Structure 1
Amino acid sequence: MNYVQAADDYLTYLQVEKNYSVNTLTSYAFDLKLYGEFLNTNDRSLVLDELTSSSVRRFVQDQVH
Structure 2
Amino acid sequence: MVTVDAKGLFCPEPLMMTQDALKKNPGEQVVVEVDSATPRDNILRLARRKKLNATVDEKDGVFTITIG
> TM-score, normalization: structure 2?
0.33
User: Which of the pair is proportionally richer in helix?
Assistant: 1
* TM-score calculated relative to the size of structure 1: 0.34
Query: If you compute each CA radius of gyration, which structure gives the higher value, 1 or 2?
Result: 1
